[in-house]
């Protein structure tokens, strides 16, 4: 039995690829480095993170890119003995422009090194590559029209100016032939996320529509010719929860069709699980999978007979989910960052952290301020549960209030909570709390405990507990007593897609991790011995 979401936490825009009996899903990573998450499964039920292939500056450099930019909607496919990964690097979010550059990289294996990127175009985002039966390859992406009042968190339909199709020449690594606009979408609007496949002489096109909020949908169309005209599905939308606010999986849309070797049919989609009372998705956009059937009319439908996705759907060969441990403990041994962790934007991680200067420790080199779009030392993992506890221990000897290191619940520069060790001119070394509860566009911090609480010399343990919409910080001096709650209960729900600016204002997900900044420019070091994440 498949239990959705199959990839909990921030894992949006799932592109699925089947090679033999192996399944792979690629998801968007936006400003988090390395780029693109690829998960692997043999049964469609249990998934393992196996690769983030965009790992070099020549493939991806996101320094200076705003929040919610970076890698949008990758497409993973397999043909001609190799994997093909298509991705967008979005350089701008607010205003009329997106500056979305599309690339292709390849590799004979998922786990191996991926090629240098081939530039494709910049006409819009959400690119996809279709390998036709005759060997020709076709590139599709949505077209962005800047001549509208479509600004950041207020998308307008005219800016999403249809789906473009052009042939890709693998030999010359370039596009060729005419550019055709093959699909304008439905009245739901905001057409994006195109994927093509072929069955029984028909070209089927699925797209995402309605924006990535609560009106999201997977729209389906078909044509006898790849360049159209395309006729719409009898229901228009294959998957959507837009008319069912009571459905467990909301924001359902943007996914891809896959057929198993034994002739079963599934479709991925992103989804969100909002918390009451504000309907905020604190886990971001997650990946889900639905069982489908082909009917006599030649159209694909959800097996449940509706357009509304299910939490549980039949899997392959009676496979059941393997229960994951409720605790994830990391001790930073071995000189390699655990796979669950990422950092922000920079292809030069050696400038913000290493695990070699001090064996068994994650050493952060404090750089720019928390929330910087260029070079900030923040190493974090996804929040995967509505309720969790995170703990760490830090060794840090600041000599100015400009040096700060600790633990953060982080979404972006406008939505974060942090507890940290710093220096205060009257208190000396202390623990402080900083928070930005969705203050867009100013990003002003508040300090709920003012200057902080003085702490003794030595290692300081920091923790947070999140129960749905509530966050409480804790601290203790290692070996000197019990955990102490510190500060007020904070709004954890604001660390979400809908928090602060609201729906469509941002669309990544919540992280929890370790950070350090030194705005004096002296790159003070902070050492973290371990990190624990427990589902509550």
| Residue numbers annotated as active site | 375
Q: How far apart are CA 67 and CA 215, in angstroms?
A: 23
Produce one character per residue of 56-85: b if its CB has 16 or more CB atoms within 10 Å, e if not: eeebbbbbebbbbbbbbbbbbbbbeeebbb
User: Per DSSP, what are the bridge partners of residue 209?
Assistant: 217
Burial class (CB in 10 A: 0-12, 13-18, 19+), 246: exposed
Q: How far apart are CA 308 and CA 184, in angstroms?
A: 24
Q: How far apart are CA 499 and CA 97, in angstroms?
A: 24
Catalogue the E-assigned strands of 65-112. 70-79, 82-90, 100-107
Residues recorded for the chain: 536
Question: For the chain, first and last CA: distance in Å?
Answer: 24
**Distant-in-sequence, close-in-space partners of 323: CB < 8 Å, separation ≥ 6:** none
Q: How far apart are CA 515 and CA 527, in angstroms?
A: 10
Residue by residue, DSSP assigns 242-297 as TT-TT-SSEEEE---EEE-TTS-EEEEEEEE-PBTTTTB-TT-SEEEEEEEEE-TT
Q: How far apart are CA 430 and CA 403, in angstroms?
A: 12
| Residue 224 · residue 203 · CB < 8 Å | yes
User: Per DSSP, what are the bridge partners of residue 265?
Assistant: 259, 292
Q: How far apart are CA 96 and CA 113, in angstroms?
A: 36
DSSP assignment letter at 159: G
């Amino acid at each position: 039995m498949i239990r959705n979401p199959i990839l909990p936490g921030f894992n949006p825009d799932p592109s699925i690829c089947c090679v033999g009996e192996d399944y792979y899903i690629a998801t968007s990573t936006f400003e988090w480095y390395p780029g693109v998450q690829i998960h692997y499964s043999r049964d469609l039920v249990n998934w393992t993170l196996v690769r983030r292939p965009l790992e070099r500056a020549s493939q991806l450099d996101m320094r200076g890119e705003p929040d919610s930019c970076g890698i949008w909607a990758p497409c993973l496919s397999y043909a001609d003995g190799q994997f093909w990964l298509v991705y967008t690097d979005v350089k701008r979010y607010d205003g009329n422009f997106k500056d979305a550059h599309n690339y292709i990289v390849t590799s004979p294996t998922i786990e191996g090194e991926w090629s240098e990127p081939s530039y494709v175009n910049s006409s819009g985002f959400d690119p996809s590559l279709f390998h036709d039966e005759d060997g020709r390859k076709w590139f599709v992406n949505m077209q962005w029209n800047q001549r509208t009042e479509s600004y950041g968190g207020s998308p307008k339909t005219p800016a999403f100016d249809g789906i473009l199709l052009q042939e890709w020449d693998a030999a010359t690594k370039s596009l060729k032939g005419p550019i055709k606009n093959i699909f304008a979408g439905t009245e739901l609007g905001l057409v994006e996320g195109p994927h093509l496949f072929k069955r029984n002489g028909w070209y089927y096109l699925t797209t995402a529509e309605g924006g990535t909020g609560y009106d999201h949908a997977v729209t389906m169309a078909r044509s006898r010719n790849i360049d159209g005209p395309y006729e719409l599905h009898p229901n228009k939308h294959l998957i959507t929860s837009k008319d069912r606010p009571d459905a467990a999986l909301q924001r359902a849309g943007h996914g891809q069709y896959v057929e198993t070797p034994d002739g079963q049919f599934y479709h991925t989609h992103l989804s969100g699980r909002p918390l009451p009372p504000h309907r905020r998705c604190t886990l971001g956009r997650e990946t889900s999978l639905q069982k489908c059937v082909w009917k006599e009319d030649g159209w694909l439908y959800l097996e449940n007979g509706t357009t509304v996705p299910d939490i549980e759907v039949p899997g392959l060969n009676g496979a059941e989910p393997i229960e994951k441990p409720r605790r994830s403990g990391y001790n930073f041994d071995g000189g390699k960052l655990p796979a669950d962790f990422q950092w922000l934007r920079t292809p030069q991680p050696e400038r913000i952290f290493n695990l070699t200067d001090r064996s068994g420790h994650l050493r952060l080199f404090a750089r720019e301020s928390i929330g910087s779009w260029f070079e900030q030392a923040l190493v974090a993992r996804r929040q995967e549960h509505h309720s969790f506890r995170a703990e760490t221990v830090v060794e840090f000897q600041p000599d100015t209030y400009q040096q700060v290191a600790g633990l953060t619940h982080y979404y972006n520069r406008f939505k974060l909570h942090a507890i940290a060790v710093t220096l205060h001119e009257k208190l000396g070394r202390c623990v402080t709390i900083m928070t930005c509860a969705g203050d867009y566009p100013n990003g002003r911090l508040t300090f709920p405990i003012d200057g902080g609480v003085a702490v003794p010399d030595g290692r300081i343990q920091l923790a947070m507990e999140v129960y749905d919409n509530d966050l409480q910080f804790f601290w203790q001096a290692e070996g000197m007593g019990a955990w102490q709650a510190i500060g007020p209960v904070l709004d954890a729900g604001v660390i979400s897609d809908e928090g602060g600016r609201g729906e469509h204002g941002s669309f990544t997900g919540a992280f929890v991790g370790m950070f350090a900044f030194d705005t004096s420019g002296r790159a003070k070091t902070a050492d973290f011995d371990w990190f624990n994440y427990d589902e509550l």
